Amino acid sequence: NAGVTQTPKFRILKIGQSMTLQCTQDMNHNYMYWYRQDPGMGLKLIYYSVGAGITDKGEVPNGYNVSRSTTEDFPLRLELAAPSQTSVYFCASRVKTDTQYFGPGTRLTVL
């Protein structure tokens, strides 16, 4: 199993541009999460999903959108990128037994 994969690993955006961060897991996990980690800080939950077709907001959803059309994929969409969205983004998945598996992260810079 590849586990949780994220693409791209790095990206630089200009203010106002849009992009999609991809996340895929091959463990058939129902729960998936998107977090952002600002420098020197902990992770903040952006959006999460408890199954295909079901998504909900976390602590910091503004400026982001998600969709969950399949169990495997949970893309995060940034519309109109702003410098405040410069961060490292982590995707994670888990089963009901609560262990959360993380992807390697995407470092995004908005200039």
Partner 1 sequence: AQTVTQSQPEMSVQEAETVTLSCTYDTSENNYYLFWYKQPPSRQMILVIRQEAYKQQNATENRFSVNFQKAAKSFSLKISDSQLGDTAMYFCALLDNFNKFYFGSGTKLNVKP
Which residues of the shown chain bind partner 1 in the complex (CB under 8 A)?
A: 31, 33, 35, 40-45, 48, 50, 58-59, 88, 90, 92, 98-100, 102, 104-105
Considering the complex, state which of residue 17 and residue 37 has its C-beta at the smaller distance from partner 1: 37
What is the four-CA torsion angle of 4, 38, 79, 13, rounded to 10 degrees?
-90
DSSP 30-78: SEEEEEEE-TT--EEEEEEEEETTEEEE-S--TTEEE--SSSSB--EEE
Smallest distance, partner 1 to C-beta of residue 37, A = 9
Considering the complex, state which of residue 27 and residue 88 has its C-beta at the smaller distance from partner 1: 88
Considering the complex, state which of residue 14 and residue 40 has its C-beta at the smaller distance from partner 1: 40
